[in-house]
Structure 1
Amino acid sequence: MKVAIYGKYYLNSTEPIINDIFEFFTNNNVEMVIESYFLSVLYEKKIIDKEYKTFSSHTELDSSFDMLISIGGDGTILRAAALVRDSGVPILGINAGRLGFLATVQKENIDEFMQFIIEKKYTISKRTLLSLSTSLKNDAIEEINFALNEISVSRKDSTSMITVETYLNDEFLNSYWADGLIIATPTGSTGYSMSCGGPILTPDVKSLVVTPIAPHNLNARPLVIPDETEIKLKVSGREEHYLVSLDSRITSVKNETILTIKKTPFQINMIEIPNETFLKTLRGKLFWGEDRRN
């Protein structure tokens, strides 16, 4: 078995996780290939001292890998997705962060869940991604042109709202007067969109969510649409530029630029461990069914 390992170091929380994972895989003769920058941090912190094979680019991840282990929070998984891209290599998230809707394996259960991995007792959850093209060339967008959680537009250098003209399959939907607009995948429905009042979608739903950010027209509500919909946005405002984000990657775009958003032809494969389902994660993270008034 061959696994890629990528992560982010958190003081006092990551070291025990790393020690447990490395010890388990070593004892079970699993070949580990470590992302080069992450490995340099582990050497610097003196967490490990052995030599390992490394990778530093998505071009080095191929079908020879059984999976990529992401150690960190949900943000780490979003960056891991940028490494995996269309290779099909599944991602397993080990939660060393806080909330963690994507990084579902908790540090208390690592040994148990790693055994499931060795025995291949897991399922694959396919996750929709979004791509973005612009009417004006933008190198920052073209470099990594997909998002696992959401694509959003928002105001820049101003407290004034922007206007987002929105078209679905070339039919006019609405002009949102707001701080911005979020186009979220089912995976991203528990992220930025949810914090702005958007609905939660289960990962297998073939839909997207259009969620305004602090809309001035209060009758503008989040909207669920089919994931085959082509979305076009045209943003205007008092400033010359506005911000576009693909997950955590942000760039500045000139006003009146037309953005075209649609589903990518490939998906990201997320590993689901037995008894760690999406619904269980919802109950645990959002305290559904619990009386917490006291």
Structure 2
Amino acid sequence: MKLTILGCYAATPRTITNPTSQVLEIKNRMFLIDCGEGTQVQLRKNKIKFSKINHIFISHLHGDHFFGLIGTISTFALLGRTTDLHIYGPKGIKEIITLQLRLSNSWTTYELFFHELESKESEIIFEDQKVIVKTIPLKHRVYTNGFLFQEKPGDRKLNVDAVQNYNIDTCYYQKIKGGGNVTLEDGTIIENEKLSFDPIPPMSYAFCSDTGYHEAVIPLIENVDVLYHESTFLDSEESLAGKTLHCTAKEAATIALKANVKQLVLGHYSTRYGDITVFKEEAETIFPNVLLADDGRSFEF
């Protein structure tokens, strides 16, 4: 599982920082999460192929999380894209994008599908054979969702020595990988555990931005491998965080601790701070496994 941070700063873009956007690669799928201004430029800088992005998830309709979407959609068309593009986001996103396309007479060369979200309860919004994506309802000034990406368990690993020792025909291999037992010609049942190894444990990634401190997310993200959580402010600005429905680094770490996640990634920093290492220092007083997102930084888990 690979996470590439295209932008992770709050509010407005600067020459040295970009608003929220990131790419998650999981089970050979590539998902774009949020699309602030400059996203397509950051995709180029990070050498991410536009053609590999077929699903875009927008957390909420504040500009620093989706103002780059229309440009990205337009560029995909100018490059001759023909593959379908699916966009998941709050109700209203279809109206915003199609209005811009209509008034600029810039219709896409590909099918554009909008999956508008309204539910305040967690729901499955994408599922295929390998990955499932659920919403994480957040607490912000407008309707906002985080997103939980989960790998589905893979096949069991064939124990080649064991199947050869039992002289099991290759026609049963797929059944064994799927967890099935095998019955020999003499009626003997060979249990699956003797013929295969456990699959690689499926991984999970939770994206939570923007939100105030919100313990309701804890059951939804419990035990995830990686949690990206906004940390707009430091604890010294806790009152401001409360007023704007954002989190401090300490609050993000508290959520990570209570949810028993394996790794916390901080982001969405206010640009009032000159040094983001102070966010890590503050969070580590609560939770030990902290990484700092930064524009252009990639993590492999």
User: Please, what TM-score do these two structures have when normalized by structure 2?
Assistant: 0.30
User: Please, what TM-score do these two structures have when normalized by structure 1?
Assistant: 0.31
Rg larger for: 2
Q: Which gives a bigger RCO, structure 1 or 2 (Cα 8 Å, sep 6+)?
A: 1
